[in-house]
Structure 1
């Protein structure tokens, strides 16, 4: 039986942010979560503005999605930087040029460093396709199926240096059906990702006044 998915926290309990947030999106691939966030903003469900999209992949389809919406998209090819720290310094520079307040990793396939985290303390969010702390890292859907769990889902968390280990912001539970394949389960999780991420960003914006201010320091 296809049971309904559950969201935590309750969307009805998320207050309105005191003011719209300025977002910077990091994406390496298709950009479907970027699209979901942009649609939530257009629908008035998420009081925010996407100032810039940054990708590390010249072939990323997110570039076309951003172009269609008239949102600046900057390519910072990781292969052209000598280290992760150098790449993150370039990312921070672009984010600060666009006055970004919150960094939203939407399929960003690079490990971040303290350079980015120090510039945006507690303001870097990531989405992972499991109910963390279970099934961290790559192939989370495959891990869930291999372990035979009955429920999996997706998690939005604050980013720390340890992969998929930062404080949890919000989660959506998705039942695993007996006939599920990696593809079918991934599709149902992705539906919940598109619901969850805008809600989690809204929650963070509402709580933002209690967080440290992002750094104004420029990285050359």
Structure 2
């Protein structure tokens, strides 16, 4: 009984990621006032899976399958998440649009990080798009997830200046460096406010 009441009072996070997992690693290493219960990944062979295993964090693979629509896939995912008593979802380089099934299950409890200053440069190529546009200032945005692509309410932003010497690679490194500080700090604040 006591264990069950602890679960109810504790923030319990699922991190969703699709790739390398550097933001996943930053969140795990941040000593957040929450339990990171599980990684959800939509790719079978990406580095973030090994990162989760290194931290003894279970992995749920939610792979797209021919003939299975998003609603069915998300319903199965909710069933797989149920034993973890998740209180919030944290997207960290997750390259899929979250559908209504997950949005309804976690209203205003899904957040995402984006490597540009939204509403500018939404979508999966935020860094490249900002670089190609020649902007002198870009940055990082943390926002609530809604039904659109990077259109949810903004929670936090931090600017990153681009110099004439910056290449795409150096700009990307600067943005990732800001992400790895801003995301854990913002997630901590949301946990402390009871949002996650």
- TM-score, with normalisation over the residues of structure 2? 0.91
Deviation at 1:31, TM superposition (A): 0.9
**Larger RCO: 1 or 2 (CA < 8 Å, sep 6+):** 1
Between the aligned partners of 1:80 and 1:62, the Cα distance in structure 2 is 24
Q: Is the 8 A contact 1:81 1:87 kept in 2?
A: no
RMSD of equivalent CA atoms: 1.6
2:21 to 21, 31, 40: 31
**Structure 2: where are the runs of 5+ without partners?**
1-8
Deviation at 1:207, TM superposition (A): 2.4
Instruction: Report 1:1-150 matches (<5 A).
Output: 20-41=10-31, 46-79=32-65, 82-150=68-136
Residues 70-125 of structure 1: CA deviation (Å, up to 9, x unaligned): 11111121136611111211222222221110101111111111100000000001
Between the aligned partners of 2:14 and 2:67, the Cα distance in structure 1 is 20
How many residue pairs match? The answer is 188
Q: Is the 8 A contact 2:95 2:124 kept in 1?
A: no
Deviation at 1:206, TM superposition (A): 2.4
Between the aligned partners of 1:193 and 1:122, the Cα distance in structure 2 is 21
Q: Tell me the secondary structure at the aligned position of residue 79 of structure 1.
A: coil
Q: Is the 8 A contact 1:145 1:182 kept in 2?
A: yes
Does residue 185 of structure 2 align to residue 167 of structure 1? no
Between the aligned partners of 1:115 and 1:22, the Cα distance in structure 2 is 19
Deviation at 1:180, TM superposition (A): 1.3
